[in-house]
Chain A
Amino acid sequence: MIRRLALLALLVALVAPTGSLAAEPQFRMSDIESELMCPTCQSRLDMSHSPAADRIRAFIEERRQLGWTEQEVKDALVADFGPAVLAAPPAEGFGLVAWLVPLLAVVGGMAILIGAVALWRRRSPPVPAAVGAAPAGAAADPAIEARIDAALAALDDAER
């Protein structure tokens, strides 16, 4: 009999910590608050002090103390306030659009930019040889050189 009682006490001792762990908070308030919206003020929950936001915070804290996970709390809030209570839309169903549109816009914008630059480069007229820099070692036009020399000589004469 004593042995059975001792065994029972041992089992209770082993089970007790597990039971108390189940009610341990699974997440931090600051983490979930930044991922939720205040439904009445259209700002993030951690930036709102409206009565509705205060009540939602109290609801979260109550559930947190009961050992709910962050996802369970979010699911409960979405059930009452709709998906708009989430700061970031879920990456599924219609919410996926909110993730894909910016991505497609960036990819599409880059494609348009690259295409436009390629088109302009192909269509732009060749740079005239006289305007561009002469290739290294290439001989300059003798006529132009003669005119430059004459102009420089005239400038020197004028300075004297």
Chain B
Amino acid sequence: MMLAEENYRIRESLNNQGVIFCYSGYMTEAILSGIGQAIKQKLTIEETDSKTVRSVFSVFVEQMQNVIRYSVEREPENSTDNVLSYGLITVGQSNGNYFVTCSNKIRHEDKEHLDRQLSRIQKMSGEELKSMYKKILKGDVPESSKGAGVGFIDIARKASQPIEYDFADVDGTYAFFTLKAHV
């Protein structure tokens, strides 16, 4: 296959899903800054209302930071400073709403915990999210629900619909996790 043909096919497949921004690869805080600024600029040019721009940006930042902090594909391994964390992020528009998706590899053993946390968040009302958000920020969270990441709650609060997520099996060790939020 021709080079351009192959890449055009990838581009068209993303365009058909409404994707405006897509990045797959090693993520860093500098990449977060760069793509974040471009998203603000693009949405502002489209005369998106400032509340939506702020919410899309905010969901984007929380999603990127989740990958940077929690992706198991990272180099150097077991480091927290200056890491490269592998993930995939898309920002797009469908049916008049913006969406942000973020994916990264996780270990199978962490799947159950993440699933439990997210399914709980998914079912929470606006009021419940609000009170859980504050409880976590204040550190008043029972040990059993530790790691009900405040980032996920923040995303759910900014989203206009319940968050969507699922997992795909990669191999015996890893699963691929994806979270989608509509703003």
A-B interaction:
no
The residues of A with any CB-CB pair to B shorter than 8 Å are none
